[in-house]
Structure 1
Amino acid sequence: MQRRKFVVGLGSLAAGGAAAMGTGAFGSVEATRTVGVNVAGDASAYLGLEETSPYAEFSGDQLVLDFTNNNNGGNGINPDSVTTFDGVFRMTNNGPNDLDITIDKTGLNNPGRWHFVPKEVYEEYSGSYPEDSFYPSWDNFGGYESTNASGGGLDSGNSTLVGVAIDARDKTSLKGGEITFAVTDEDGPYGSA
């Protein structure tokens, strides 16, 4: 008899627990939420890009780098040379997070000939780094990574100038292409410009 009471009591306890807990599953949910986005030009996007030299200009809302003509009599870089351009354009972090920026050069025809060098790499090869500028040393291009240039950190609300070096040694012509700005915050992917 005690055994029968124990089994009935245990069964009642299990049934009551299942009724209290439920299964936790539901069939489906449909909910409507508002989503908004603006597509802003490069000048006012979260990663702002601003022309700061005759070699950067806007085509529509996008920044274009053009080293073919400076509208001052120059029509290109010298053959068999390394030419540097300081402060070609400015990058501004208009977003809420601190950013790490990488300039992906794989869209250029000769990515190893174009250099966008971060502060850390510059200091490693050249010592003191010019303030607020991505500016490469032309002393030793062999040490630079040929397809990407990590821009390092850019805090929210801050900006930096970007310098460009073009290595045309042993070249009489050099085609361009496209660069891609890959942007991440400290916690992972933030977007791409």
Structure 2
Amino acid sequence: MDRRKFLIGAGGAAISGSAILGSGAFTRVESQRRVIIEVAEDPDAYLGLDECPESPNQSYADIDEDGHLEIDMSPDNPTEVGGEGVNSDSFTFADDVFEVCNNGKQEAVLWIESSDAEDLDDPPEEYEDDLPRVQFYILDEEGDIQRISAENQDEAVDNEWFTSIEEGGCVCVGIRTMTKGLETGDQLIDDDEVVIHANADLVGDENGGNGDDNGD
């Protein structure tokens, strides 16, 4: 699991990410042969993570000095006209911020594990159905939002909050924040981290995915 740092702020809230690959990425060898397993920068890894090309929101994404994807929507990464974070008491949608590519050898189911920070105030009652505070999504062919984030795999699968990426395919991921009842500077994500799951074992399984089960 590779930890990745994402920063978001209503003043500043952070998101970090990790990559979890399903089967098929590596082979175990028990004979006397030379085996090379090399750590790649995020854009070139089996689960490729990079800025979303040709998107105006790609400026929130960057590859850091360690070759890892970083998302920064905080005062540390202001816009050209001085924006320093998402609005308070608002819904903010940032389409196509970062790109996830399947550089492996089989189709994979993608979903993002994310939880709100525990110390946040509850939103006004009329916005409780809009939780969690931060959601990740893609845009479908009609331009409609398709949520792909959840607190755990069961929630993602039961609600179909996932998408499938074919071998060699890529999707751009957007970020939605809901800051009703919050103040400037509140941190939105639990432990400032999220986990990006790309699981080939879910493809074609009754518990998720929509392709053929390719096995290991």
Normalising by structure 1, report the TM-score: 0.63
Q: Which amino acid aligns with 1:43?
A: P
Measure, in 1, the Cα distance between the counterparts of 2:39 and 2:182.
Answer: 39
Structure number with higher relative contact order (C-alpha < 8 Å, ≥ 6 residues apart): 2
Between 85-94 and 30-39, report the one with greater CA deviation. Answer: 30-39
Q: List per-residue Cα deviations over 1:12-71 (Å, max 9, x = no partner).
A: xxxxxxxxxxxxxxxxxx953432211101111111111131111111211111111333
Asked if structure 2 preserves the Cα contact closer than 8 Å seen for 1:42 and 1:48, the reply is yes
Alignment of 1:133-152 (within 5 A): 135=145, 146-148=150-152, 150-152=161-163
Please name the residue that 2:89 is paired with. 80
Identify the range of structure 1 (81-90 vs 63-72) with the bigger mean alpha-carbon deviation.
Answer: 63-72
Alignment size in residue pairs: 144
Q: 1:98 aligns with which of 107, 113, 127?
A: 107
Contact 2:138 2:172 in 1 (8 A): no
Instruction: Indicate which of 115, 121, 135 corresponds to 2:135.
Output: 115
Structure whose CA Rg is larger: 1
Structure 1 unaligned spans of 5+ = 1-29, 138-143
Q: Residues of 2 paired with 1:114 and 1:189: CA distance?
A: 33
Q: Write the letter of the residue equivalent to 2:197.
A: A
Partner of 1:155: 166
Question: Which residue matches 1:35?
Answer: 35
- Name which of 164, 172, 181 aligns with 1:170: 181
Report the residue type matching 2:174 in the other structure. G
For residue 89 of structure 1, report the CA deviation from its aligned partner.
0.8
Runs (4+) off by over 6 Å: none
Q: Give the match for residue 5 of structure 2.
A: none
Structure 2 segments unaligned to the other structure (5+ residues)? 1-29, 53-57, 119-130, 204-212
Greater mean alpha carbon deviation, residues 181-190 or residues 160-169: 181-190
Would you say 1:66 and 2:72 are equivalent positions?
A: yes
Q: Which structure has the highest helix share of the two?
A: 1
The share of aligned pairs that are identical, in percent, is 28
